[in-house]
């Protein structure tokens, strides 16, 4: 099983959880806000809202596409670099996802076609260049795992990725411990989809060990850190890059690697 197969569904869940509220807010703003009147467009030609990205796992030479098309009057079709992206059964005809071969720094072209209410064909398009290869430089990822000593912070640094506008990461960290009263307990920390302009992030002692004064010893710990470089416009910071008979955002994401945290005893 490829990394795309094992991690793709988790990436989809994270993106979907963030994208839907942002989409609803964007559409609500269009409907609920009034401004200066402009030229009246052709009858039966509504805007569609397109949002999506392509995430590439360099070690697999595969790209994972996620696209949603909202406010569409008919059943759209979605292609990326000529590859048809199928709809998700439970969310059709709005959400599409699939994989296809691609590498970091490659160009990605999105093509969405849909029937307008007047019977003509609507076309929305977008292009983006995937960020280049990069990797984590601290901690040393040549080791299979690292451990975090009780009361320590965690700093992760990575290389700059060519073409990256911003970076995102996710960290999960869980541990079992014995408290000062001799009772076995557990604690967990999770952070995701935080956008950074820097190439490092530090998780403080207070974030990782919020009950430090109550901990006598750590029995075991586990966790995982992933970092992504993102190209293309970032919502609420730049205008969208979808053109034609639609508007929205289309991004490229290149995976920079992971850090596995594990300690037993």
Give the chain's domain count. 2
Q: Are residues 237 and 226 in the same domain?
A: no
Burial bucket for residue 16 (CB in 10 Å: 0-12, 13-18, 19+)? middle
CATH of the domain at 69: 2.60.40.2450
Q: Which two three-digit tokens encode residue 142? A: 């040549």
Residue 37 domain-assigned? no
Q: Which two three-digit tokens encode residue 143? A: 């080791």
Q: Are residues 85 and 187 in the same domain?
A: no
Nearby residues of 105 by Cβ (< 8 Å), 6 or more positions away = 129, 130, 131, 132, 133, 162, 163
Residue 186 domain-assigned? yes
Q: Are residues 163 and 123 in the same domain?
A: no
If one counts every other C-beta atom within 10 angstroms of the C-beta of residue 87, the result is 19
| pLDDT at position 235 | 67
Q: Are residues 173 and 199 in the same domain?
A: yes
CA distances from 12 to 52, 234, 255 (A): 11, 18, 14
| pLDDT at position 28 | 39
Q: Are residues 115 and 148 in the same domain?
A: no
Containing domain of residue 93, as a range? 3-32+42-132+233-250
Share the mean pLDDT of the chain: 85
pLDDT tens track for 196-230: 889 999 999 999 999 999 999 999 999 999 999 99
Q: Are residues 238 and 111 in the same domain?
A: yes
Residue 21 domain-assigned? yes
Q: Are residues 163 and 181 in the same domain?
A: yes
Q: In what order do the strands lie in the sheet with 107-115?
A: 83-84, 77-80, 107-115, 121-129, 243-244
Could you read off the pLDDT tens digit of each residue along the chain, which spans 265 residues? 444 444 444 444 343 333 433 443 444 344 333 333 333 334 444 579 999 999 999 888 899 999 999 998 889 999 999 999 999 998 888 999 999 999 999 999 999 999 998 889 999 999 999 999 999 999 998 888 999 999 999 999 999 999 998 999 999 999 999 999 999 999 999 999 878 889 999 999 999 999 999 999 999 999 999 999 999 998 676 789 999 999 999 999 999 999 999 998 6
Q: Are residues 112 and 21 in the same domain?
A: yes
């Amino acid at each position: 099983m490829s990394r795309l197969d094992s991690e793709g569904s988790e990436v989809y869940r994270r993106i979907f959880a963030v994208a839907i509220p942002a989409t609803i807010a964007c559409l609500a703003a269009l409907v609920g806000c009034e401004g200066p009147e402009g030229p009246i467009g052709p009858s039966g030609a509504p805007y569609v809202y397109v949002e999506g990205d392509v995430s590439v796992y360099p070690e697999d030479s595969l790209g994972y596409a996620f696209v949603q098309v909202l406010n569409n009057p008919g059943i759209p079709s979605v292609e990326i670099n000529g590859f048809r992206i199928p709809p998700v059964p439970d969310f059709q005809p709005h959400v599409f996802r699939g994989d296809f071969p691609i590498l970091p720094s490659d160009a990605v072209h999105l093509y969405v076609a849909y029937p307008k209410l007047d019977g003509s064909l609507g076309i929305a398009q977008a292009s983006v260049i995937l960020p280049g290869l990069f990797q984590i430089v601290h901690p040393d990822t040549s080791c299979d795992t690292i451990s975090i000593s009780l009361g320590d912070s965690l700093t992760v640094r990575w290389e700059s990725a060519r073409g990256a506008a911003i970076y995102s990461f996710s960290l999960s960290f869980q541990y079992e411990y014995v408290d000062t009263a001799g009772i076995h307990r557990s604690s967990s920390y999770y952070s995701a989809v935080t956008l950074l302009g820097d190439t490092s992030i530090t998780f403080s002692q207070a974030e990782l060990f919020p009950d430090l004064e109550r901990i006598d010893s750590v029995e075991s710990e586990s966790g995982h850190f992933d970092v992504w470089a993102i190209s293309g416009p970032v919502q609420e910071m730049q205008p969208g890059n979808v053109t034609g008979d639609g508007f929205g955002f289309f991004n490229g994401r290149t995976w920079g690697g992971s850090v596995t945290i594990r300690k037993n005893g």
